[in-house]
Amino acid sequence: MPAGCEVSPTMLKFQNTRTHPVWVGVLSGKTSVVGDGGFKLLPGAIAQFIVPPGWSGHIWARTGCTFDGSGNGNCVTGDCGSGLKCNAGGDPPVTIAEFTIADGLNSDKDIYRVSLVKGYNVGIGIKPIGGTGDCQYAGCISDLNKNCVPVLKVVDSSGMVVACKSECDAFNVPRFCCTGDHGTCAPTPFSMMYKAACPSAYYSYADASSTFTCSRSDFLVTFGP
């Protein structure tokens, strides 16, 4: 389908495959807000929303959250600083699903990826439903928190590992942040650890192989393990 043709709204489905609830955070671009910016998703539950052509946004899972009846509170991981309904991104370490939905004018392809640039807290997978083109699965196949090296681990008050920092956040040096003379990042033991758990996730700023496209698709976003 050439750009300039009409495209239909896209359905985003969210499924929690974990044994604990997650509080989904959504930061939308300039178009409509999805899910009021945040909502609770119980184990096994599914929620779905329609997004218009041209929608873009970031989606992530928050864990260990406590909110009052007015939606005020905070989370152990992925906290966005504004309660249940997010108007800012999640605090790292956080796994992020990124979408740019085709507008039919400048593009006929939806662009999507799972990003580990800000670290990892919960596994995320993106699976196109229908559609034409490449339409590959993006995301994680195992729980990175179980294999996170000690220097990158984030633990909660009980000592449980709840997130794994990116090497850039942990060390803040050009080699790990893909800056300066290291504008193109070479693989490191840390990045290989991330890729083992999430082989089709986007990790470094030079990783062009983990950004995917699909046309006229809906999407299933899963949280877990």
Q: Give the chain's domain count.
A: 1
Indicate whether 190 belongs to any domain.
no
Here the CATH number for the domain that contains residue 23 is 2.60.110.10
Locate 210 and state its tokens.
Answer: 């983990």
Indicate whether 168 belongs to any domain.
no
Angle (CA) 84-88-92 rounded to 5° is 95
Name which of 123, 126, 128, 129 is nearest 138 in CA terms: 126
Q: Per-residue pLDDT for 194 more than 80? A: yes
C-alpha pair distances (Å), 221 with each of 68, 155, 193: 27, 26, 23
pLDDT at 206: 54
Q: Per-residue pLDDT for 90 more than 80? A: yes
* Widest Cα–Cα separation across the chain: 54
Asked if residues 31 and 52 have their Cβ atoms less than 8 Å apart, the reply is yes
pLDDT in tens, 115-171: 999 999 999 999 999 999 999 999 998 899 999 999 999 999 999 999 999 998 999
Q: Per-residue pLDDT for 184 more than 50? A: yes
Indicate whether 180 belongs to any domain.
no
Indicate whether 1 belongs to any domain.
no
pLDDT at 29: 87
Indicate whether 51 belongs to any domain.
yes
pLDDT at 86: 95
Indicate whether 170 belongs to any domain.
no
Asked if residues 123 and 146 have their Cβ atoms less than 8 Å apart, the reply is no
pLDDT at 183: 57
Indicate whether 189 belongs to any domain.
no
Q: Which domain holds residue 115?
A: 10-140+200-223
CA dihedral sign of residues 88, 144, 24, 113: positive
Element (H or E) spanning 174, and its range? Answer: helix 174-177
Angle (CA) 92-95-99 rounded to 5° is 120
Determine the average pLDDT of the residues in 49-73: 96
Using alpha carbons only, how large is the chain's radius of gyration in Å?
17
d(CA 201, CA 82): 27
Indicate whether 186 belongs to any domain.
no
C-alpha pair distances (Å), 46 with each of 18, 21, 216: 12, 12, 21
pLDDT band at 12 (very low <50, low <70, confident <90, very high): very high
